Structure 1
Amino acid sequence: MSEIETARKPLPQGYRQGIITAITVLLGFSLAFLRFWGTEAPGEWTSKSVIPGVMLTAAVVLQIIALYRALRLADDEEHEYQQTVQWFIASATLLLFGLAAAAWELA
């Protein structure tokens, strides 16, 4: 087999669908939380509110990038899929830090 054939390793069935579902569920939660926390929750915005707001917004941006990558045809290859998963994990980690910062800000 040539180098190109060994480098291109397609994913097993269902992997792309699973990551797309996971990204959209987390993106939906993130947008709903950001909407509630940013606009509907009682209280005033303070300088401490900016940090979690920026973190949550950045997490949403990373989730959109991960979703864009997951929807591309190139993401059917293992190497591309691994990078998409890394984008998704980074967005989930940033989201957790943003949620913790928002909880700390309320305390």
Structure 2
Amino acid sequence: MSQDGAPEKKPPSAPGLPVGYRQGVITAITVMLAFSLYFLRFWNFEAPGAWNSLSVVAAGLIVIAILIQLVALWRSLQIADEREPVYRRTLQWFLAGIVAVLLGVMVASLAYA
């Protein structure tokens, strides 16, 4: 309460995310990250065949995708990710990681064929 007895007004805050949005994106990032790590492990260490230049490109793309997904996960765990502009940027990082994984898997399939 202020000195004159009126309740103090709080400054309007930026609207936050609806409940469940952050949890959902964190789950999606971890699922995609787990797939990427598993695919890289299987394809690099367990799949038969010799390496060629396409194999190296595919492995590089998948490693870059994993790093991008780790950045997206780190951003999604920050308190600032509750604000919509920061959340949107995190989703952009995540989308970039998904695209990089898809490109890596497509190049890997060409290298393995």
Equivalent position of 1:21 in the other structure = 27
Query: Quick one: distance in 2 between partners of 1:44 and 1:34?
Result: 15
Equivalent position of 1:35 in the other structure = 41
Query: Quick one: distance in 2 between partners of 1:93 and 1:5?
Result: 38
Equivalent position of 1:52 in the other structure = 58
Q: Percent identity?
A: 48
1:99 aligns with 2:105: yes
Misfit runs of 4+, over 4 Å:
none
Equivalent position of 2:6 in the other structure = none
C-alpha RMSD of matched pairs (Å): 1.2
Equivalent position of 1:78 in the other structure = 84
Superposition deviation, residue 5 in structure 1: 4.1
Equivalent position of 2:74 in the other structure = 68
Contact residue 49 and residue 112 of structure 2 kept, 8 A: no
Question: How high is the TM-score relative to the length of structure 2?
Answer: 0.87
Superposition deviation, residue 9 in structure 1: 2.3
Segments of structure 1 that go 5 or more residues without pairing to the other structure are: none
Number of residue equivalences: 103
Question: How high is the TM-score relative to the length of structure 1?
Answer: 0.92
Query: Quick one: distance in 2 between partners of 1:87 and 1:71?
Result: 13
The structure having more radius of gyration, on CA atoms, is 2
Segments of structure 2 that go 5 or more residues without pairing to the other structure are: 1-10
